[in-house]
Structure 1
Amino acid sequence: MSGSEAKTAVEWLVSVAPDPDACRWEWERNPLGIALLPAGRRWDVLILPGELGYPTLDILTRLVDRPGPVLADFGDARLGFFVPPGTAARWIGTGVRGAGRGTWIVVPYPGRTAGGVRWLVLPDAAGTLTDPSLLELSMHEAAANAARAGDE
C-alpha cells in the first residue's frame, strides 16, 4: 500500500469520528494502531463467521472489480464487510451480525495489523462499499458450495 492510499483510507475512516482531527492524531500515535469508530454514518458492517466469510469474499471478488472494505479479526474467526448505512438494521440472516447506528467497531490503521485485526480489503478514495445484494448472493453461493462439499 502506498502512502497516499493509506492517507486516503485514513481520511475516509476518520471522517465518521466525533472529532476527526483528534482521532487521526491519536490513531497515528497509538502503539496499538487501532481506533474505535462509529458505524451507521458512512457505513454499516455485516459480520460473518470466518468459515462463511472467506468463501463469500472469494466469490464476491469474482463478481466485482473491487468490493468495499473488509476486516478480519483475531484468528480469522469473523470477517466484517462494509456496506451502506442502514443495511444492518434491515438485514435478516442467521449467524450474521450487524454493526449499524449506535454501535462502534475496532478499526486498525490502514496497512497495519492491530491486536490481530487487519484489513483484507482497504477503503479506497471513492468510499466504495459492498452492495448488500451482491454480498447476499455471494453468501448463498458460498453456503451452497459448503453444503455440496459436505455431501461428498
Structure 2
Amino acid sequence: MTATGVHDPVDWLASAAPDPAACRRAWERNPLGVALLEAGRRWDVLIVEGALGHPALALLAREAYRPGPVLSDFRDARTGFLVPTGTAAHWLATGVRAAGPGTWIVVPYPGRATGGVRWLVPPDGSGTLTDPAALERALHAAVAAGARRTRRWR
C-alpha cells in the first residue's frame, strides 16, 4: 500500500511527529540513533514475536510482495510491521499487539546503526506500508509451518 508523501525516509518518518523539524533535530543528535514517534498519525504498527515475525516476513518476500517498513527490536524478540492507520483499531488476533493512536514507538534513524531497534525493511520514503490482509495471510502461514515442524519432531 502506498501513500503519497516525501521521498526521503527520514522526512517521511519525522512527518509522524507533531513537530517534524524538532523531531529530526533531536533524532540526529541522539547518540542512540532513535526517536519516539506516535503510531496512528502516518501508520500503525502490528507487533509480533520475532519467532513468528521473521518467517512471516520471509513468506511475504517469497510472494514477491514488497512490505512496508519492518522493525526488529534488540535480540530480535519482537517484529513490528508498519501498516495503514486505523489497522490497530480493527485488528483482532492472539499474540499480536496492535499499536495505534496514543502509542509511542521507538524508531531507529534509517541507515544508521543503533544498539537496539533496527530496520529489517527500512522505509524508502514513498509511504509504502504493509498490506494488513497480506500480513494476516503470512502470519497464518508462518503459524501453520511452525505447527508442521513441531509435529515432525514429536
TM-score range, shorter chain: over 0.9
1:92: how far off?
Answer: 0.5
Give distance in 1, aligned partners of 2:88 and 2:114.
25
1:112: how far off?
Answer: 2.2
Name stretches of at least 5 consecutive residues in structure 2 with no aligned partner: 1-6
The equivalent residue for 1:18 is 18
Name stretches of at least 5 consecutive residues in structure 1 with no aligned partner: 1-6
Give distance in 1, aligned partners of 2:46 and 2:114.
20
What SS is found at the alignment partner of 2:93? Answer: coil
Q: Which has the higher helix share?
A: 1
1:41: how far off?
Answer: 1.1
The equivalent residue for 1:126 is 126
CA RMSD in angstroms comes to: 1.1
Give distance in 2, aligned partners of 1:46 and 1:65.
17
What SS is found at the alignment partner of 1:110? Answer: coil
Give the count of matched residue pairs: 146
The equivalent residue for 2:53 is 53
Give distance in 1, aligned partners of 2:48 and 2:107.
16
Sequence identity percentage: 66
Q: Does 1:151 align with 2:151?
A: yes
- Consecutive aligned runs of 4 or more in structure 1 exceeding 3 Å deviation: none
TM-score (norm 2): 0.91
TM-score (norm 1): 0.92
1:104: how far off?
Answer: 0.7
Question: Bigger CA drift: 130-139 or 120-129?
Answer: 120-129
Which aligned pairs between 1:1-152 and structure 2 lie closer than 5 A? Answer: 8-152=8-152
